[in-house]
Structures are given as C-alpha cells and as structure tokens.
Amino acid sequence: MKRSRIGPKTFAEALAKALARQKAKPRPVDQKDREHGYEWRRVKRPLGYSGRLKPGRKTKAWTAERRKLKVKYAQMGITSCELGYQGCKRDDWLSFAHGRKRRKLEGDELSTLTILACIPCHDRIEFLPADEMLAIVERVIALRSESQS
C-alpha cells in the first residue's frame, strides 16, 4: 500500500519539523489587540480587578474590633502577653487570641473572649484541642478581673 505524503514519515523527519517550528518567530502582537491596550497573550481581567480578593465582611468587622480592643486593653493596663509561656516575646509580636476558632465565636465573643498574646504563645494554644484552648482563655480572663478588684 502506498502511503500518502501528508505528515512526516519517520521520527527523524518529525523531529526536524518540530525543531523548525520551535525556531520560528513567536506570533506577533495582534494589531487589533494593540489598539485595545493589551497583548494577545494577556488574560483579560474585569474592570477594577486588583489581583486579589477584597476583605470580606468578617475580616472588616475584626479589623474594626481590633482597633477598639487595643484601646480597651491599654486602659486596662494590659500591654504585654498574658500567657507568658517559655519563649514568650512579652510585649513584642502581640496579637489577640480568641477562646474559640473564629467561625465558632458566638454573640459578642469577638470582643469579650479575647486575651492579649504574643505570636509564639498564641500558636501554642491555637493548636491545642478546642476545649483546652477555651479553658485557658477563660482562666486568663477570670484571673484578670480577680487581680483588678
């Protein structure tokens, strides 16, 4: 049977053809696309897309709450880590730690069930079982009011 001449017949022929294609110039920028201000390869983004997602409702609420908490804690005289485990950073790398995972906070716990903790201490309680983390936070809060009165 006679084979048609369409396409390469041997591997060497196919390889040569592929290499020749690779050497060929890349497709030039389309003139029409240029007029529209983008190159043909670039993915078109919707207007106002900044490359990352905007903070959601909960993130915004927490950002606002954190500002209030900073003032509240300063008034209470709490300006350093309340946990003080080994490797504690004291008044450096501070954050607010919650008694529950963020999505499990109830009612006003976002503002009431918090303690001031440095990142190393925060990380220690963060990876404990949920009930242990809650117990620690509640104990710290209870001790706080005891020492004030």
Q: Site residues (CB under 5 A) for Zn ion?
A: 81, 83, 88, 118, 121
Q: Which is nearer to Zn ion, 50 or 86 (CB)?
A: 86
Report, in Å, the least distance between residue 91 CB and Zn ion.
9
Q: Which is nearer to Zn ion, 95 or 111 (CB)?
A: 95
Rounded CA separation 90/141 (Å): 17
Report, in Å, the least distance between residue 80 CB and Zn ion.
8
Q: Which is nearer to Zn ion, 34 or 90 (CB)?
A: 90
Report, in Å, the least distance between residue 33 CB and Zn ion.
55
- DSSP track, 52-99: SPPP-HHHHHHHHHHHHHHHHHHHHT--S-SS--TT--TTSSEEEEES
Close Cβ partners of 55 (under 8 Å, ≥ 6 residues apart): 63
**Count of positions (residues) in the chain:** 149
Report, in Å, the least distance between residue 123 CB and Zn ion.
10
Please work out, in degrees rounded to the nearest 5, the angle formed at the alpha carbon of residue 124 by the alpha carbons of 136 and 71: 65
Q: Which of 114, 120, 115, 128 is nearest to 88 (CA)?
A: 120
